[in-house]
Amino acid sequence: MNARIDHLQTSVETPSTPHATLHADQQIGQIAVQLPGATAVFRRLKLDFCCGGQVSLSKAASDKGLDAAVVLKELAALQRSDSVPETTSPSALIDHILARYHEVHRQQLPELIRMARRVEAVHRDNPQVPAGLADHLESMHEELLSHMLKEEQVLFPMLKTGGNPFVGQPIGMLRAEHVSHGEALDKLNALTNDATPPQGACNTWRALYAGIAQLGDDLINHIHLENNVLFPQFEASPTSSQGCGPSGCACSDAATQQA
């Protein structure tokens, strides 16, 4: 990752998409919409990406006395790869799931909830406002935190030591919770018109929906790795045909693409 300031020519190549580049001359609002998670960085640095989103990142950073190159490096770190470890050993898969999905869900949901509350409040008179979205995201957050804790404290340590004859019970319980997560994604898609912002939506609204689209992709990939790659290694009769609701009905097909 390389960044250099030179009269608005600063750029950083993103690790997960080699051809995608962040530039200091990009409008800050454009970055907020195109890069899920950027809003949390901008909010912490007090950079106005919504009403003041028409200025370049370079100017916005300069006005706040910030180094645009440093901000770009932090933004570039938000680009995450979906590639899985070359080995599908349980320990490697579990470490990947913890870093790529558990940690990311814990970061992305609180910011999505914050933005959803703002959009619902500011645009409450707009007939297309996603009423109830923040509450639904909060419910998803609570359920995911509980689910991930069970995996981290109970199932994953068990699998890392080779499992045991009773491992099918917690796996079955977590598979059932995956179905509930898929149903929650269906409702999320219904509330947001499949994460499609209405015409004329502000930068916050558009950034919110970009983040929701990423959350959906991340959660489906997360469930796929567990249902179709990790869990079957410890089940006498794998049940990977179980889906995760209509939003994740392609999970079993995705096994051939990502496993």
Mean pLDDT of 149-162: 95
Q: What span, in angstroms and rounded, lies between the C-alpha atoms of 182 and 247? A: 6
222-258 pLDDT, tens digit each? 999 999 999 999 986 444 344 555 454 444 343 333 4
CA 36 centroid distance within chain: 8
Nearest C-alpha neighbor of 14 from the set 73, 60, 55, 86: 73
Q: What span, in angstroms and rounded, lies between the C-alpha atoms of 103 and 108? A: 9
What is the pLDDT at residue 51? 78
What is the pLDDT at residue 244? 52
Sorted by where each begins, the domain ranges of the chain are 11-76, 90-258
Contact 36, 210 (CB under 8 A): yes
Residue with tokens 């770190």: 77
Q: What span, in angstroms and rounded, lies between the C-alpha atoms of 233 and 224? A: 14
123-150 pLDDT, tens digit each? 999 999 999 999 999 999 999 999 999 9
Q: What span, in angstroms and rounded, lies between the C-alpha atoms of 56 and 63? A: 11
Contact 111, 91 (CB under 8 A): no
Domain covering 11-76, topology: SP0561-like (1.10.3910)
> Residue 7 above 60 pLDDT?
no
pTM: 0.76
161-201 pLDDT, tens digit each? 998 888 999 999 999 999 999 999 999 999 999 999 999 99
Residues 6+ positions from 201 with CB-CB distance below 8 Å: 209
The 3-state DSSP class for residue 237 equals coil
